[in-house]
Amino acid sequence: MDPGFEADFQQFVVARSGALFRTAYLLTGDRHAAEYLVQSALAKTAAKLADLRDPAAVEGYVRRVMYHEQVSSWRRRSRVSEVSTEHLPDRIGAGHADVTDLRVVMRAALARLTARQRSILVLRYFEDLSETEIARVLGLRVGSVRSQVHRSLKRLRKIAPELDAVREFG
């Protein structure tokens, strides 16, 4: 392996770990699971560095590994656990406290979705991937992605109707 490419990978890890963690957190809904997902994806990528000829393709490869790892984890799960909250905020406004409330509500609502639903919404609205790209990443048909996005948004709106006032999704 090219020592310069290995050094570039180390710089990539330092520079992009935060962004990768944020995506992993949105995919998993759990800090520890997100840390494990990023660590696992980086380890698998490091093992394949010799096969990656283009340094610019490394981030895409790491993200694809993360998505596949997450899909594998929800396929292995036979039972989905949900996190319920006792109270959700009554209204959402534009102030700092209201934005924080919105984040709390969104995080709790995402945690109550299935891992597949959460993954599809993260890829669609956080990563801004097209339905075709999501289908390729997750190994699904485009029609399945469309219906899953629709069902996931419907469930998200049912779980947290106060998010509907924001209308930043769907």
Tens place of pLDDT per residue across the chain (170 aa)? 566 667 888 888 899 999 999 999 988 888 999 999 999 999 998 888 777 767 677 888 899 999 988 888 766 664 555 556 677 655 544 555 656 777 788 888 888 888 889 889 988 988 888 999 999 888 889 999 999 999 999 998 898 887 766 554 44
Q: For position 88, what pLDDT does the model report?
A: 64
- Please state which architecture CATH assigns to domain 96-165: Orthogonal Bundle (1.10)
**Is the CB of residue 74 less than 8 Å from the CB of residue 115?**
yes
Q: For position 52, what pLDDT does the model report?
A: 73
Q: Where are the domains of the chain?
A: 3-76, 96-165
The CATH number of 3-76 is which of 3.90.1170.50, 3.20.20.105, 1.10.290.10, 1.10.1740.10?
A: 1.10.1740.10
Secondary structure class of 77 (helix, strand, coil): coil
User: Is there a common fold for 3-76 and 96-165?
Assistant: no
**Alpha carbon distance 68, 62 (integer Å):** 10
Q: Is the pTM of this model over 0.75?
A: no
